[in-house]
Structure formats: C-alpha cells, structure tokens
Structure 1
Amino acid sequence: MSIKIKFYLLVLIGFVIVGLQSCKNDFDNLYQTNTVTIQLNYPDDFEVAENVTITLINYNSNITYTEITNANGIATFEIPYGIYNAAVSELRTVSGTAYIFTGNTSLTVTETDKNSDVTTINLSASKANNIIIKELYNGGCQKDDGSGTFYRGQYVILYNNSVVTTSLDNFCFGAAYPYNSQGSNYFYSNGSLSYETEGWIPAAQGIWYFPEGISLEPGEQIVVALNCAINNTLTYSQSINFANANYCTLYDIDVYSNESHYPAPSSLIPTSHYLSAVKYGIGNAWSCSYTSPAFYIFATQEVTPAEFATNVENYGNYGGSATQVYAKVPIDWVIDGIEVFKQGDDNQQRLTSAIDAGYVYLNNKNGYTLYRNVNQEATEALAENAGKLIYNYSGGTTDLVDGSTDPSGIDAEASIANGARIIYSDTNSSTNDFHQRKKASLRD
C-alpha cells in the first residue's frame, strides 16, 4: 500500500472517530435527566390529598410522564431535558359534594437549571357537573367527489352524567377568543391568561341559549346541530343526518342570517327545539372553529341569557378591536368545556384550568370526532350493567400522529345500544376525558 493511500486512510479513520464521538455526545445529551419536584397548592378550606396523579407532557416529543403525590402533596420526577406541560386533575367528594381540582403550569428542564426549586401548581376547585359535553364534531368530512372538505354539519352532544334530572333552562354555548388555538392570543401576559385570576372567560362574538322546558334524565343525551340542521348525507354521504325530531339546532335567522350556514332546518326538528342567539360582535354566522375551538357550556344565574348578553357592561374588545367584541362569562357559571388543539401547530390554551386543565388534538377534514372517555370503574360498578358492557373498543385513532383512544376499552355506543348506562370520565382535563374517534357517533 502506498504512503499516500495510508495517509488518506488515516485521515478517514480520524473523521469517523470524531463523528462517532460527536454522535455519542448528542446521544448522551438526549438522555440527560434532572430531578423535578412539584408541589400541589390547594385552595383555602380544602385539605391536601395523597396519591394524586401529576402528568408531565413533553411539548416536543409528546412523551408523557406521571407520578403520584405523597401525603404533603409533593411528587418527584426524573425526566430528560425539555419543556413540559404539568397538569393535575383530581376528583374528590367533600361533605357529599363532588369537587374537581385542576391546575397546570409549564416548566423547563435543562443542564444548567438543576431545578433545585420546587415547582408549584396552584389548583382551582369546581363542583362536578351533571351535564357534560359527550361529543364535539367540528372538523368536517371529505366530499364524495374528492374536491375538498364539507366543513358544516357540526354538532355537539350534551349528556346527563348524574343521577338526577337536570333542566337546560338558561344553558348557553360560548367559544373563546382566539377562534383557533394557533392564532395570536392577546389575553396572554407573562405566560398566563389575563382573565384567569379575574374570574371570567370570554365568549366571542355572541352566545346561543336553549329554549325553556328541555330537561335530561340521568343517562339521557341531546344532540344539537351547530349549523346545517338538515339531512346532509343526501349531498355528502360521510356527513351527518339531522332529520330527527329529538334533535335541537342553532337557528335564529334574524340574528345570524347566513343561509349557507343556517338553511331552514329539517321539518322533523320542532321549532321548540331551536336555540336563540344574542350577537354583539360582527358576522352573519356564529363561529365554531373547524380546526381547534375552545368550546364551552354555561348557565346564567339570577339573569336570563338574553339579559346577560345584551348588557354592555359585560363587554370587552379583543385586542382593542371595536369589531371583535366578547362578553365576560363568570367562571362560576361555566359547566363544562373542551380545549381543542390543532395537530402539528404551536397551540395555546384558552380555557382556564378551572374549566379544562388539558387539551385534545384534532386531525380535521376526515370526519373524525372528539368523544368522551368512559369512567370504567363507575360504569362497571353499576349493577344494572351486568352482562351489557361491550369491550375491545377499536374506534380510536392511535394509529395516527397525535391520535388517541379510550383507555377503558369499553365501546360506549355499542354498550348503550346493548342497554347499558355509561358514566363518562369528568376530570376537567380534555387530555384525560376525550379521545379522537374515527367516526362520529351519529354515523354508527
């Protein structure tokens, strides 16, 4: 072998050694960890609880880590470097009343920051709800001819998760600004939502409210079409048929006049099932984001929905815009909410931790829906469910990026059809309570 060839070989070997050492350093850095201590801070008048689960989700890898608290409300993690969302949701009964404690915060784990200080999560307490959002279908489906997406035919299903009959009088729908989770959020200040400590949530553009006289029995649900309350399957076979006398719909054509969003509802839906609107912002149609809404239900107290929503003292201007008006809904009025994030985007929370301490991803345009998980323990504990529950649920989307499924393994819709009574998860965290389902339940 010539001297020149030997020289080149030595140089090549040198590059390989340097490259391998560099890869080793990158590999080592990837798995460097630090210890993180988290302390739960409960509201006044509530005792610290033991064995509460704290969940950390890495923003970049979406890997989840969990630990449980000790008797002092403290949990310790050993986790890789990165930026994390820390969230807590605890359900507890106090003097016969069910409470949900929720909270979240962000934290950064680095080599230089040894996290010697304790990270505190301040918890909010709210009473558990009788009425919950069972399902939200907002992302649209593919058109039959492959020409694009049919975005309308949205709906929400409300469900009585309790053991008492509950009236929907004064119940309302609201959605927070910004409409999309990846949009600029002018309410953020120093990493926090400005209204969280002020005790309210914005209702963008307008609200909808139920007519009087509608109640739900325990285990009963009601479907509400958010737009296009007709048999949409006649035009788009993968969409929704709302021609059903038991359904309700948003329809107040004198307030929101866009007939492409609000064609005359199916004649099967009685006019007594039409929700009414109050508009204080601009637009001829009420917006529920096709990608990532912050959708919630609330019930006014001591005033009617119309009185609340027409009172200018309750208004604010989003980002200082005279046209982007919102109403300040007291947090105490909020019954349930769902924070939806868009897959693959830089999302920001809009619902406060007292309403929703988590979020759920949606891959829109494909007919997928956001469906609530089953509370397995509570559902299996019902004697009336013996022999009626259907397992091996396969309707989730865990085969997709950011997909999810119901960890209980119970097929809720099949079980209901089999005569079972379902108790759904209600921890005030969409991360725990919802999953992305491949098919809307109204299409089962």
Structure 2
Amino acid sequence: MKKVFMWSLMLLSLGLNLTSCSSNDDPIIINDPVTLSLEMPLNLENVEVTNSNITLTNVSSSQIHVLNNAIEKTSNGFVATFNEVEEGTYDLHAEGELSFTINGVAGTSKFEVSQDNINLSRTATSMKVTINTFTAKGGFVISEVFFTGTTTPEGKQYSNDQYVVITNNSDVTLYADSIAFLESSFLTVNNYEYVPDISKDTMAVAAVYMIPGNGTSVPVEPGKSLTLAVNAINHLEGNANSIDLRGADYEFYDISSNPTYNDVDNTNVPNLDKWYCYTATLYSMHNRGFKSMAIAKMKETKENWLEKYAYNGKYMMSVSGNTYEMKVNSTYKVPMSWVIDGVNLSVEEEWQWNVLPANIDSGWTYCGKTMNDKTRYSKAVIRKTDSEGKYVDTNNSANDFIPEAKPSMFK
C-alpha cells in the first residue's frame, strides 16, 4: 500500500511539473510578413537606396533579425520585409546610402535612423520610419565673384585674374558636372524693350561654360567649393598686384581666332566645356559688373541647345534724341527653370533693371559706385554667412552679398 501511495505521489509530481512547463507560452510567430516603410525627404527625386543594413531586435529575448540590401523600391515607396517574426516589442535601426537628384542636380548622402519600442503582433505587422537625418535644403550657390580684376604697378588694367566660386550650400554631397556658368547678354545699366521679350522665363547669355562630366563625376561635399578661373596661372609673375590661381579647380580656355590673342592652358587644371561665347578671341567677365551671372543645370546636349535655343531679337536705342532699331543676333538663351542660382551685378549710380527675375534674384550688388570708379579694382562681391556657417540665400543679392569686399584669394 505504501508503494502504491509513493508511486501516486511521483505521478502527481510529474504531472505538476508538466503542467508548470506548459504554462510558459510558446513564442507566437506572426504568419504574415512584417513590412518596414521608409519615407524619404519630399524634395528628393530619382531616389535609389544602396548598402543598406536593417536590424530588428526583440527587447525581451534579444533575438535579432537582420536584412542587408533588402530595401525595395515599389509603387508605394521604399519597403523592406521581415519573415517569421515573433510577436513582441522591438527596437529598429536602419542605415545605408541614398543617391538622388535635387532641383535637377545629382546628390548622395548616408542615412541612419532608429526607432524603439515598436509593438508587433498578428494584427500589427507594419512599421514606418522617416529618413530625417538630413534635410537636403540648399544646393549650389555662387559664393563669390571677382570680376573687377586688378591693376599693374604701372597702373594698367589687368583682367586675366578674374574668377568665380560656387559652393555646395547643402548638407549632402552634390555633383557639379553639367553645371554651367552663365554671363548675361543684357546689361543691368540699359533697360531696353527687347522684342521678343524673353526676360521673364529665359536668360539671354553672352557666355556659357560648363563643368564637364557624366553627371556623377565631380562630387562636392557639403560646404566645399569649386573655383573657376579665367586663367589658372600664377598672375604674380606678370603683375605683382595680382594672385596665384594655379590652385583653381577649373579654368576658362578659349582657342582664339586671332593669333594675336592666345590663351594660356594650364594642363594641370581641367578646362571648362565651352558651349558659347560672344567673343571669337578670349573670354573675360565684364570688369565693371554691367552684367548678371548665374549657374544652371544644362538639360540638353550642346548640339541640341545650340540648335534650339538661339535668340534673335531687336530693341530701340535712343541717342541724342534720335532712335535707332538695334538687332540682337547670334545670342542664345537658357530657360530660367534650368537656373540654380544667380546674382545681378551693376554699378551703384548706373543701375536700371535686374536682368534676372525676382525668383532668382530680387536685388543686385556691386563693386564701384560710378561708371568709371577706379577704386573697384581688386574688389569682389562675396556672399554672407549665417551663424551656422551656411551662406545666406534669400534670393536678394542686396541682402545676401557683401559688395566691394576683399577677394578671398588675396592674402
């Protein structure tokens, strides 16, 4: 009887142990795929995701689910899918690289985003994160124009040392190839009625020189600049009052039709791709600042642009009470929708109108207060910076630029 009783106790104990073990619920696997949606900044286009890594960590069990290069571009946006995930609370971490275009300019940026305490269950199988580790605001801006040139110790005018600086004012890497420097045909000191009037939606150009490349050949990191020199040589060798521009990133190079005027080609500095220039000899910026400058993303091939964007117009000019019809021949135009940034230049006492429209530049800046102001030499217009070190860009050069500033290349 005692043996029977002991055996009964053992069976009861075993039963209790089995009951105790079964009280711990087995993990519940979510039958449906668990999806992660990644929301991109609104101003980005043509977005691609590469080198991505996503980790989903169970807070209770520390079990980790990992996805590498599994973000897919779908009609509903960018999605990654996890399978056989247990119900529970999770921490999410995602990182990778983006390529995109912003205002027509190619760019790249790394991203990293995290989200904690995400509850996943059979009725909650989706997650959503917003990539807000960068804003992609800003873009390329003209940060400096040195158009006045210098004078020699003998007092002669010297313009070969002119240059322009463009800067990546965003917080992502942007590509500068296919961006062109433009100088206007129209003058800010003469306000004629041009027929046809193209000034509202296109820019009549006297010069177009483009940074060469395939679209992603010239990366410019946030805050970095490119210097485009009219001549990338050591000008101090011929003018003690000038500067050394051998460190420029690009130079304007022209093959002159007149053997008297030969350009110097610094083979250590890449040449800009010349699309058009008003002169058959050597280009130089207007050294009194009668013209406007801009940078644009060229959206045609050179051949197509030359064929489709010629401008032949006319205007009336009055001299000593007589009026003459003047023709504008062999000039080209660039749509304002291609223009990334621009600055109206003039002379303080001579300004009549802004060549660029208000959405590009509602103001203007200058070096020199009168028509033949000899104090303008060795001065530049330089864009202001804000408290965070970013260039000020309100589309108003009167507010954004310091007139008659010391050029940054002068020590």
Q: Shorter-chain TM-score: which interval?
A: 0.5 to 0.7
Distance 1:312 1:188, change over 3 A: closer
CA distance in 1, matches of 2:194, 2:284: 19
Q: Does residue 229 in structure 1 map to residue 257 in structure 2?
A: no
Which residue does the alignment assign to 2:59? Answer: none
**1:137 is matched with which residue: 139, 143, 146?**
146
User: Any idea what the Cα deviations from partners look like across 1:250-288, whole Å, max 9, x if unmatched?
Assistant: 1142xx55678763233432xxx2111123755323352
Distance 1:346 1:219, change over 3 A: closer
Which residue does the alignment assign to 1:215? Answer: 219
Q: CA deviation at 1:307?
A: 3.0
Q: Does residue 366 in structure 1 map to residue 389 in structure 2?
A: no
What's the % identity of the aligned pairs? 23
**1:275 is matched with which residue: 272, 282, 293?**
272
Which residue does the alignment assign to 2:202? Answer: 200
**2:359 is matched with which residue: 354, 358, 367?**
354
CA distance in 2, matches of 1:258, 1:347: 35
- Kept in 2, the 8 Å contact 1:138–1:154? The answer is yes
Matches within 5 A, 1:10-409: 129-145=138-154, 147-178=155-186, 180-183=187-190, 185-187=192-194, 194-197=197-200, 199-204=201-206, 206-212=207-213, 213-226=217-230, 228-244=231-247, 247-253=249-255, 256-257=256-257, 263-269=263-269, 273-279=270-276, 281=278, 283-292=280-289, 293-301=291-299, 303-304=300-301, 306-317=302-313, 319=315, 324-363=329-368, 365-376=376-387, 379=388
CA distance in 1, matches of 2:176, 2:221: 11
Distance 1:232 1:280, change over 3 A: closer
Counterpart secondary structure, 2:312: strand
TM-score by length of 2: 0.57
CA distance in 1, matches of 2:394, 2:273: 30
CA distance in 2, matches of 1:289, 1:183: 14
- Kept in 1, the 8 Å contact 2:164–2:228? The answer is yes
CA distance in 1, matches of 2:357, 2:307: 23
- Kept in 1, the 8 Å contact 2:312–2:328? The answer is no
Which residue does the alignment assign to 2:61? Answer: none
Q: CA deviation at 1:128?
A: 6.4
- Kept in 1, the 8 Å contact 2:309–2:333? The answer is no
Distance 1:354 1:262, change over 3 A: farther
Distance 1:339 1:307, change over 3 A: same
Residue range with higher mean Cα deviation, 309-318 or 432-441: 309-318
Counterpart secondary structure, 1:441: coil
Q: CA deviation at 1:181?
A: 2.4
Structure of larger gyration radius: 2
Distance 1:424 1:281, change over 3 A: closer
Which residue does the alignment assign to 1:433? Answer: 400
Q: Choose between structure 1 and 2: higher helix proportion.
A: 1
Which residue does the alignment assign to 1:408? Answer: none
Counterpart secondary structure, 2:272: strand
Counterpart secondary structure, 2:391: coil
CA distance in 2, matches of 1:175, 1:281: 10
Distance 1:346 1:201, change over 3 A: closer
CA distance in 2, matches of 1:261, 1:349: 33
- Kept in 2, the 8 Å contact 1:258–1:285? The answer is no
Distance 1:167 1:342, change over 3 A: same
Read off the aligned partner of 1:158 and give its amino acid letter.
I
Distance 1:323 1:365, change over 3 A: same
Distance 1:275 1:235, change over 3 A: same
Counterpart secondary structure, 1:431: helix
Read off the aligned partner of 1:371 and give its amino acid letter.
I
- Kept in 2, the 8 Å contact 1:280–1:310? The answer is no
Distance 1:160 1:259, change over 3 A: farther
Q: CA deviation at 1:438?
A: 3.8
Q: Choose between structure 1 and 2: higher strand proportion.
A: 2
Q: CA deviation at 1:175?
A: 1.5
Distance 1:426 1:294, change over 3 A: same
Distance 1:324 1:316, change over 3 A: closer
Q: CA deviation at 1:362?
A: 1.1
CA distance in 2, matches of 1:354, 1:266: 37
- Kept in 2, the 8 Å contact 1:140–1:152? The answer is yes
Distance 1:327 1:155, change over 3 A: same
Consecutive unaligned residues in structure 2, runs of 5 or more: 1-101, 104-135, 316-324, 369-374
- Kept in 1, the 8 Å contact 2:366–2:404? The answer is no
Read off the aligned partner of 1:185 and give its amino acid letter.
Y
Distance 1:438 1:144, change over 3 A: farther
User: Any idea what the Cα deviations from partners look like across 1:80-120, whole Å, max 9, x if unmatched?
Assistant: xxxxxxxxxxxxxxxxx99xxxxxxxxxxxxxxxxxxxxxx
What RMSD in Å do the two structures reach over aligned CA positions?
Answer: 2.8
CA distance in 2, matches of 1:313, 1:151: 30
Consecutive unaligned residues in structure 1, runs of 5 or more: 1-96, 99-126, 380-421
Distance 1:332 1:159, change over 3 A: same
User: Any idea what the Cα deviations from partners look like across 1:60-81, whole Å, max 9, x if unmatched?
Assistant: xxxxxxxxxxxxxxxxxxxxxx
